[in-house]
Amino acid sequence: MNRVILLEGLPGTGKTTNSYKLYEQLVRNGWDVRWLHEVSQPHPTLFFSEACLTKEEYRLFTEKYPETAEILSSIAEIRASTVGIDYLSAARRLPGQESAAWYQEILQYDVMDFPLERYEPTAYEKWEAFLKAALQDDMIYILDSSIFQYQIFTYLLNGADYQRLAGFVHSIMKMLRPLHPALIYLYRENTEDSIVFIEKQRGFKALESTWERDKERTYYRNKQQDVTAYFDFLKDYADYASRLFEESECEKLKIEITAQKWDLYETKMLRVLGIAHQEAPSCQAKDGTYVNALLGASFSIKDNILTDPEGVHRRLSAKTPTEFFIECLPETLCFFGDDTVKLCGQQIIPQWSETGTVYTRERDQRELL
């Protein structure tokens, strides 16, 4: 059995959708599974909202800002020579502190701003910590966008050549061999089709926003100064990802997704991984609006469709009569009676999704009578 399953591909190729399908089927087959969504928080291999300090830097930081020591120690990830702090989690525990001196200073250690000379040993150590923890249990890990996407973005934006990127990725793949990794690469033969799909799915403004965010990075020097440079970036991304896949020495599967035959692709993945397809039990979640007053957040359920606080519609799939998978999230809704539900699983960055958060169903007048 593959202990780690890696899903990769350009943005918009279905990595999250198919990670969810695998997660659901593995759980239905009785396996202990942890799906590490691209923006899981905290993330054991990636750095979307992590400040990373050496142990000496961390010691000096907590001496300088002793008011943060207790909170930071409760969320710190202590590794061999570094300390990782999810700064969004820190901000949640110290609300209203985003403008404070300590918070502004910790942002200076944001790994996404590291030069490659500091990023590489930091990231390698984090992957080592992940491997060490994974070897202590029997869990299956699903990672989407971890081994290719995050690394390609990091190296390309820093102007590194392919060989430097490949050397780092292959060193991580070699490290993961004790977990018998399986690599699934989702792609469109024509990268232009993926660009058109991303624009249609996310909107042109989202593409512009990504370009605006990154346009000062090394990759974009001497390129056209508009969003079309980001299209070139995606083409280079596709080329690098394809080469990395071909060079990867592990069990692997490549799926061309232009036809969008998602049931067929799921069947291929399950077959390669040796997972039997299990149908969901026929159960209905309780309709209504569910509120957490402390967060000021709510979601609604109607006919097993959850509308989350961001307005995204997500299908619910029954795990048991009182537990439901949430489409494309590494979490389940766990019901206690008719009116109380708790989020369980691996949270992602949006605060409403925090693991353990309890929501209560609003009762209408007819029910009260």
The residue ranking higher by pLDDT, 126 or 366, is 126
3-class SS of residue 3: coil
Q: Is 282 part of a structural domain of the chain?
A: no
Domain count for the chain = 3
**Do 124 and 8 fall within a single domain?**
yes
Q: Is 283 part of a structural domain of the chain?
A: no
**Do 196 and 261 fall within a single domain?**
yes
Mean pLDDT, to the nearest integer, of 62-70?
95
Tell me how crowded residue 64 is: count the other CB atoms within 10 A of its CB: 11
Chain centroid to CA 161: 26
**Do 260 and 332 fall within a single domain?**
no
**Do 351 and 218 fall within a single domain?**
no
User: Whole domain around residue 269: which residue ranges?
Assistant: 4-43+116-273
**Do 121 and 18 fall within a single domain?**
yes
Q: Check residue 12 and give left, alpha or beta (phi > 0: left; psi -120 to 50: alpha).
A: left
What's the pLDDT score for residue 92? 86
**Do 158 and 262 fall within a single domain?**
yes
Average pLDDT, the chain: 94
**Token pair 């060079």 is at which residue?**
247
**Do 324 and 246 fall within a single domain?**
no
pLDDT digits (tens, 9 = 90+) for 232-252: 999 999 999 999 999 999 999
Among the listed residues 110, 102, 248, the one whose alpha carbon sits nearest the alpha carbon of residue 173: 248
361 CB-near residues (< 8 Å, 6+ apart): 286, 288, 289, 290, 291, 338, 339, 340, 341
Confidence of residue 367 (pLDDT cuts 50, 70, 90): low
CA gap 163, 41 in Å, rounded: 30
Q: Check residue 356 and give left, alpha or beta (phi > 0: left; psi -120 to 50: alpha).
A: left
User: Which neighbouring-strand residues pair with 35?
Assistant: 142
pLDDT digits (tens, 9 = 90+) for 295-328: 999 999 999 999 999 999 999 999 999 999 999 9
**Do 129 and 261 fall within a single domain?**
yes
The tokens for 345 are 């699983």
Please give the model's pTM, rounded to 2 decimal places: 0.93
pLDDT beyond 90 at 271: yes
**Do 247 and 299 fall within a single domain?**
no
**Token pair 């992590």 is at which residue?**
50
What's the pLDDT score for residue 42? 87
The tokens for 258 are 């232009």
Q: Is 120 part of a structural domain of the chain?
A: yes
**Do 60 and 15 fall within a single domain?**
no
Contact 111, 52 (CB under 8 A): yes
Last residue of a domain, one of 109, 139, 158: 109
Single-letter code of the amino acid located at 88: L
Q: Is 280 part of a structural domain of the chain?
A: no
Q: Is 293 part of a structural domain of the chain?
A: yes
Residue by residue, DSSP assigns 244-283 as: HHHH--SEEEEEE-TT--HHHHHHHHHHHHT----PPP--
CA gap 233, 293 in Å, rounded: 43
CA gap 351, 357 in Å, rounded: 9
**Do 18 and 134 fall within a single domain?**
yes
Radius of gyration from C-alpha coordinates of the chain: 21
CATH number at residue 142: 3.40.50.300
Q: Is 158 part of a structural domain of the chain?
A: yes
Looking at 112-116, 132-136, 198-202, 321-325, which range is the least confident one? 198-202
pLDDT beyond 70 at 365: no
pLDDT beyond 70 at 181: yes
Q: Is 135 part of a structural domain of the chain?
A: yes
**Do 184 and 319 fall within a single domain?**
no
Sign of CA dihedral 218, 166, 41, 133: negative
pLDDT beyond 90 at 177: yes
Tell me how crowded residue 260 is: count the other CB atoms within 10 A of its CB: 10
Q: Which ranges constitute the DSSP H helices of 158-227?
A: 162-175, 191-202, 204-214
Q: Is 278 part of a structural domain of the chain?
A: no
Confidence of residue 56 (pLDDT cuts 50, 70, 90): very high
